[in-house]
Amino acid sequence: MTAATNKNKPAIDTPYKNLQVLPKDISPGNMQKIMVGEFEDALGVSCGFCHAKKDSTELDYASDAKPEKQIARQMLKMTLNLNRDYFKIENPMVGTSNIAVTCNTCHRGNTFPEQPSGKN
């Protein structure tokens, strides 16, 4: 593809802003599957845990105001790297059935993973 051809290519039309780890062209269905099926279920939290409020009734999904959102991004990268580097899964993505390590692997429905007791 030449630069001239690429210039004429329409921009990806996505309803999502500020995606840094998830694909920019993620479908609404896949976004829902990841946010609800992975994050909410695996951590036992709702959207407001990571997403800042826009006002009293709405969340600002693009905002980076809450540190939990950055932590979620770091954890997502870690999970994808574990699947790629140790399980040799090509193009791993949370919310798909082709990954070995998921959010639930450690969180198991808890906001913070259970810490080992140190007892054998």
119 vs 102, which has greater pLDDT?
A: 102
What pTM was computed for the model? 0.81
**Residue whose C-alpha is closest to residue 45's, from 120, 116, 118, 111:** 111
Average pLDDT over every residue of 48-63? 95
So what's the pLDDT on residue 2? 47
SS (H, E, C) 22-70: CCCCCCHHHHHHHHHHHHHHHHCCCHHHCCEECCCCCEECCCCCCHHHH
Percent of the chain having pLDDT more than 70? 87
Average pLDDT value for the chain: 88
pLDDT exceeds cutoff 60 at 8: no
So what's the pLDDT on residue 17? 93
User: Token match 């001239």: residue?
Assistant: 4
So what's the pLDDT on residue 7? 52
Contact (CB, 8 A) for 43 and 107:
yes
pLDDT exceeds cutoff 90 at 15: no
So what's the pLDDT on residue 14? 67
